[in-house]
Structure 1
Amino acid sequence: MQKLTVDGQRIVNEDGAQVILNGVNVVCKDKLKGYVDPCEESLFTWFHEQGFNVVRLGLIWDGVEPEPGVYDNDYLRKIKQQIIWAEQNGMYVFLDMHQDLYSSLYSDGAPEWATFSDGLPHVVGSIWSDAYLESPALNRALDHFWDNAPAIDGIGLQDHYAAMWKHAAQFFADCPNIIGYDMMNEPYPGSRGQEVFGTIIAAYAQTVMGATEIDMEQLSALWFDEEKKQEILVGMADMSIYRVLVESAREASQVFEREVLAPFFNKTAAAIRSVAPDGFLMLETSYFANMGVESGLELVRNSEGGVVHNQVFTPHGYDLVVDTEHYEIYNQDRVDLIFANHRKVQERLNVPVLIGEWGAFTNHPATFELSKGVISIFEKYLWSNTYWCWCDGFKETPYAKVLNRAYPQVTGGVLAGYHYDYDTDVLKVDYIPSGDETLIYHPRAATLSKEDVVVSGADSYQVELRPSIDSEGGIVAIIASQCKGEISVTVGKSTLTLG
């Protein structure tokens, strides 16, 4: 498989062709399963048939380093088998060091030996993520991690983490389809998060409730009351209010990213790059950017202060109703704001974007249209993405039908724009051709003929259909003559009537 590199805000292959990565998360957070989803190569074959060309594959610190300085290579070999299956099906992989609620004691992530709660109680919220705001034990454990407190062997927790990443990266160094390293899933600030949350609650009290005197304990309790929480979420549908709330939290969240997260990424990246010098460094934001707080993320720098090459911005984006069935108050305007703020960060950093997580949808019928709404954003910004998450029953869900979409996997030239019409199965792609091959995945490629592919604006071009053997999908390959202006390609049965 061709190596991928960064060219400004584009991901390109060895031929200089622009690549869009489109795929899914495969992350096992269950310790009883050994942090590895039981599956076979057929799963990755199915992914390939769906047009996926990348997998965000989860690692768990507790699985990699069950004891201080002791690494479980049997666990890593099981992960490597999945990487090999992905390669055999033409798919790239980037590794995600996953955590939720920091530790395996509370959910998944750090081993018990790296979890120091000082005897404080752990509190479980009505939604799993509420524990970030409610649990003293969890926040104390995170504070110790961000402070690089020494483990029982005297080595700092962050130093252990970086060394663990170095071991994992070296273990997988012979896997040619690994393209990058997602250094930590959704970093949460620990007790500093209370300040971020506090600014949001205070802004809500002033903006919505007209409060002049603010009782933070009383106001916070409203969020943890399920009925009151739904009322608050309905109120946050007013975008003039919601913008005030996320803006209020911006500085407190960015202080953590600048002062704590950036040095942590620098340290971890240096360990990874010492054994894997060319893979993407995947940069995640503070947890609060998931809801639309603009990130202050900085690029990784080396020990001399220079910006390190091959970095990709990999934020997440979820509406506030995530992990619930309250799709009646899902708000596309909030989702648009989240990704618009990610776009601002991309333009500031001038790197490619791969949305590492989005969706987390249930089997609710509404998820079909909601998924189309998010995909349209990725089309507009020419972003790559990995959907969260592969699960039992995935194939039968409404959103799975949306994920099986037409898109330009590899553009021989500079991609200007594209859009897939789900109603007509027609894909339109605009790009400036370089004379190299363009590869378009289409979910109905096996039903198409060359007459269903129309190229406008090129002096000459060639079309080749490469349908899959066991599915309707496949590749439409196009080589168009090099030119300075844009050409347009439409692929689909309706192109005859359109033309």
Structure 2
Amino acid sequence: MKSVRRPAAALITMLMLVTIQAFADPTGVLALVGWSGAIPQPSAGVWPIAAYLVYVPVLLVVLWWATVRAGDRYWTLVPGVVVAVMLAQAAAAFVMSWDLAVAAWAAGYVTAKAVPAALIVAAFTRWFGGRTTRRRVDRGAIWLPAALFAAVAPLVAGLWWTGAAYAPGVPAARLERGPVSVIVTMVLIAGATALCLRWMRARVPGVLGGWLAALVAGGIVGVVQALIAVAVDGGFNGDIWPLMTAYITVADGLSFGACLGWVAGVTAVVSDRVRAGRPARAFHLAAALLAVLAVGASLVLSAVGSASAAPATASSGDEAIPKTFLRADGGVIRDGDGDQVMLRGVNVNQLVDFYRPRADVAATDPLTEGDFAGIAALGFDVVRLNLSWSALEPERGAFDQTYVDRISEAVGWAKAHGLYVVLDMHQDAWWSGATPDGTQCRPGTDPMWGYDGAPEWATITDGAPRCQFQGRDISPAGNRAFQNFYFDTDGIQSALVETWGRLAAVFADEPTVAGYDLLNEPGFGETAPVTTSYLLGRYYDRAIEAIRSAGAPQIVFVEPSILWSGLGFDSGPPQGFTSDRNIVFSPHLYAESLTMDRSLGIPSIVGMDRQFTLAKRVADAYGAPVWSGEIGYWGDRADVIDRLGRYAKAEDANLLGSAYWVWKQACGDPQGGIVDVTDALSPTICASGKPAPTDAAKLGILSRAYPRTAPGELTSLTADGADVALAGTADTPGCGLEVWIPGTSQPEVHVTGITNLETTAVDGGWSVTGCAEGEYTLFTNP
């Protein structure tokens, strides 16, 4: 009875916790096992039922085992429950991705759920599980299992210890970070594991004792990594990023320990049996261990190796891009002459198929050539043209030629005014459907407007309610629609891939089109990071292949999920998600703007200056430039001007470009609500429909001087209105220098290393051109 009561108490507590969370969480995002109201469809495959037929059984079986073996003490049962939750997550992720590395890494994403659940389950088990006898046993082998567990780390690193959190100087067991980093990390893992083995194995016998020791050791290593990050990554410095770093490093360490801690456990038991004179059984255990390790290491190494070392296809190489087109070159964007190009501009949403909150108020303003003339007169050189899949392909397989003609017309207007175009497949909350009348939203959620994006035929919600939780981007229906897209239910992802191929074919010969933004702010679905990293990367790879097959050589802009816009960082697609080199990493740099911290009134998760560092860190892993497809600030005008001015200085310091949100906003735009005066660079008085006065201070910041193109590579840039100072270096001579300077007064320009200097009046300001070789500088009088 005693041996059953305690694990039974643990299982009953866990089942109650799972049930309560499922009903209490209206979105299914925060619960261990969520239920959003969607009805699983067997035709969709295994993923809709993985949480119920894989996650729950694994959770309960491992929990029973952990309670039987480690349930005598509260602080040994807690890590046992954590292991159960993480292994359940890994198992469910594996049947969704069939990728061991992704599944093991994904286990860390439940840390915020696993640890509180473990504390609760362990507490109730202690209270209601009956009396226990706290045994102490011989702790046995320590250093051999610790050393072998540490040695495994660089072999099966998978996706652990990557991303924005791991600044240079933070030790990580990844071979590409160099031998010093790997050795230091292995020493940390071995030392922490040995320390934990000494304590845990004396209290928890068998394989589980070593396994739990490895789990705790992984968490300890994560804490050490986080402390080092505080020292080498700028500290708190006005934001709470170090806390997020700590969460990520600890989560990585715990998932590493949960998924591979059995290595330490089995090695410890084998060592004990050899010492006890039972070599035959030890041999069998060791053979099984080595076999599993060999298979696991080969799978992970082959996956990582093929992803990181796959040769680029011919269509993605620079040699395949005609000279008139832009291309990505390492960390910068260049033109065919090799000059660095800085794309600065605005978003144009006037072709978006928005939901209309009120039938009598337009959701978009007409798009005319005058819009492009006005954009060019502010010195911008790019338009991020937002498109709607719902308008492009209202019926499956049938393009709306009228809409395609409108896109082509817009590209022609941009070309006439010297502007590049990024074609952006825009979406907000997946599609334009609003909460149907009569819908009963679960407590904690509210009825919502529709927004824009996919056509109705590509929207599969499985009956989940269209109700929002803390904003449009967390909706059971929207999450399920994204989930179905990521898993290509009914071929809807394949349909968008084909659509990209058809659209790219239209503009394959048009150098005005700088590139294609494959999906605006992708939602996280229901199973991040399987969705937001692995499956998002798979979609991008397929879409890129379709674009290249259509003969389109332009840049492809890839975004991380909506989590980046909401938190200021995200994991993004895994390294090596595509072999194509002509890509640009395009997060939306909204730190201190519309990120979650600002809406909650807490300190910034990621500060304005730090966001550039994090974006570049992820882009460097892809070998790609950074370009922010959206920026913007709203609220009190004085505060907006202050933040926008700080952003501009940081953007110049980081030599980056961006597109402001938004050029025009209609009075019935669902993103702005029904308003009296629209909040855009070109605002409208809604009562009369006439233009409202523009914000001169805002325009002065955004239309400040900058180099549109520069020979070689820029090394520094500062600007304030018409005052600009820049420096660069050109290994080979080039005459591609073009600097935009706003204002009516001709600027006085001073240069070194620049010849053939010319200053020409253009709409809204001046164009300064010249040739450069070697180190060069240009500045205007303050």
TM category, shorter? 0.7 to 0.9
Displacement, 1:475? 0.5
Displacement, 1:490? 0.7
Aligned residue for 2:527? 192
Matching of residues 209-224 of structure 1 within 5 Å: none
Which of these residues, 411, 416, 419, is aligned with residue 91 of structure 1?
Answer: 419
Cα deviations by residue, 1:143-177 (Å, 9 ceiling, x for unpaired):
11111111xxxxx1101111111122122334330
Do structure 1's residue 411 and structure 2's residue 411 form an aligned pair?
Answer: no
Cα deviations by residue, 1:60-111 (Å, 9 ceiling, x for unpaired):
1101110111111101111211111000001110110001111121321111
Aligned residue for 1:476? 768
Displacement, 1:418? 0.8
Give the length in aligned residue pairs: 408
Match of 1:94, SS state, is strand
d(CA) in 2 for partners of 1:311, 1:136: 32
Aligned residue for 1:274? 549
Displacement, 1:315? 0.8
d(CA) in 2 for partners of 1:120, 1:415: 51
d(CA) in 2 for partners of 1:66, 1:388: 26
Aligned residue for 1:378? 651
**Distance change >3 Å, CA 414–CA 140, structure 1 → 2:** closer
Q: Letter of the 2:463 partner, please give it.
A: G
2:326–2:511 contact (8 Å) kept in structure 1: no
d(CA) in 1 for partners of 2:635, 2:664: 10
Which of these residues, 145, 149, 160, is aligned with residue 485 of structure 2?
Answer: 145
Aligned residue for 1:203? none
**Distance change >3 Å, CA 50–CA 113, structure 1 → 2:** same
Q: Letter of the 1:475 partner, please give it.
A: S
Q: Letter of the 1:447 partner, please give it.
A: S
d(CA) in 1 for partners of 2:715, 2:620: 16
Aligned residue for 1:455? 751
Which of these residues, 722, 730, 738, is aligned with residue 439 of structure 1?
Answer: 738
Aligned residue for 2:724? 427
Q: Letter of the 1:431 partner, please give it.
A: G
d(CA) in 1 for partners of 2:729, 2:592: 39
2:460–2:484 contact (8 Å) kept in structure 1: yes
Matching of residues 107-256 of structure 1 within 5 Å: 107-125=451-469, 130-133=471-474, 135-150=475-490, 156-192=491-527, 253=529, 255-256=530-531
Q: Letter of the 1:314 partner, please give it.
A: S
d(CA) in 2 for partners of 1:477, 1:361: 35
Q: Letter of the 2:401 partner, please give it.
A: N
d(CA) in 1 for partners of 2:477, 2:456: 13
Displacement, 1:366? 2.2
Aligned residue for 1:401? 700
2:523–2:532 contact (8 Å) kept in structure 1: no
Displacement, 1:389? 1.4
% of aligned pairs identical? 30
Match of 1:131, SS state, is coil
d(CA) in 2 for partners of 1:296, 1:334: 19
1:327–1:366 contact (8 Å) kept in structure 2: no
Q: Letter of the 2:761 partner, please give it.
A: P
Displacement, 1:17? 1.0
Q: Letter of the 2:459 partner, please give it.
A: T
Q: CA RMSD in A?
A: 2.7
Aligned residue for 2:40? none
Q: Letter of the 1:64 partner, please give it.
A: L
Q: Letter of the 1:487 partner, please give it.
A: Y
d(CA) in 2 for partners of 1:49, 1:270: 37
**Distance change >3 Å, CA 311–CA 338, structure 1 → 2:** same
Do structure 1's residue 64 and structure 2's residue 402 form an aligned pair?
Answer: no
**Distance change >3 Å, CA 489–CA 64, structure 1 → 2:** same
Q: Letter of the 2:766 partner, please give it.
A: G
1:319–1:334 contact (8 Å) kept in structure 2: yes
Displacement, 1:125? 4.7
Compare 137-146 and 35-44 and name the one that shifted more: 35-44
Which of these residues, 344, 347, 356, is aligned with residue 617 of structure 2?
Answer: 344
Q: Letter of the 1:65 partner, please give it.
A: E
**Bigger Cα Rg:** 2
Displacement, 1:279? 0.8
1:64–1:71 contact (8 Å) kept in structure 2: yes
Q: TM-score, normalised by structure 2?
A: 0.49
d(CA) in 2 for partners of 1:103, 1:320: 27
Structure 1: gaps (5+ residues): 151-155, 194-252, 495-499
Which of these residues, 402, 410, 424, is aligned with residue 74 of structure 1?
Answer: 402
Aligned residue for 1:206? none
Aligned residue for 2:780? 491
Which of these residues, 1, 13, 30, is aligned with residue 335 of structure 2?
Answer: 13
d(CA) in 1 for partners of 2:637, 2:563: 26
Which of these residues, 288, 292, 295, is aligned with residue 568 of structure 2?
Answer: 292
Q: Letter of the 1:112 partner, please give it.
A: E
The structure that is strand-richer by fraction is 1
2:723–2:779 contact (8 Å) kept in structure 1: yes
d(CA) in 2 for partners of 1:294, 1:490: 37
d(CA) in 2 for partners of 1:35, 1:94: 22
Displacement, 1:344? 1.0
Aligned residue for 2:326? 4
Matching of residues 361-376 of structure 1 within 5 Å: 361=634, 364-376=637-649
1:51–1:443 contact (8 Å) kept in structure 2: yes
d(CA) in 1 for partners of 2:464, 2:453: 19
Displacement, 1:39? 2.5
Cα deviations by residue, 1:204-257 (Å, 9 ceiling, x for unpaired):
xxxxxxxxxxxxxxxxxxxxxxxxxxxxxxxxxxxxxxxxxxxxxxxxx4x434
The structure with higher relative contact order (CA 8 Å, sep 6+) is 1
1:440–1:476 contact (8 Å) kept in structure 2: yes
Cα deviations by residue, 1:331-364 (Å, 9 ceiling, x for unpaired):
5962223332112112222211111111153572
Do structure 1's residue 387 and structure 2's residue 709 form an aligned pair?
Answer: no
Structure 2: gaps (5+ residues): 1-322, 434-449, 666-679, 683-693
d(CA) in 1 for partners of 2:658, 2:740: 15
Match of 2:759, SS state, is strand
**Distance change >3 Å, CA 296–CA 111, structure 1 → 2:** closer
1:94–1:179 contact (8 Å) kept in structure 2: yes
The structure that is helix-richer by fraction is 2
Which of these residues, 19, 33, 39, is aligned with residue 367 of structure 2?
Answer: 39
Cα deviations by residue, 1:298-322 (Å, 9 ceiling, x for unpaired):
46656xxxx1121111111213652
Displacement, 1:476? 0.9
d(CA) in 1 for partners of 2:575, 2:410: 30
Aligned residue for 2:84? none
**Distance change >3 Å, CA 175–CA 296, structure 1 → 2:** closer
2:355–2:451 contact (8 Å) kept in structure 1: no
Q: TM-score, normalised by structure 1?
A: 0.76
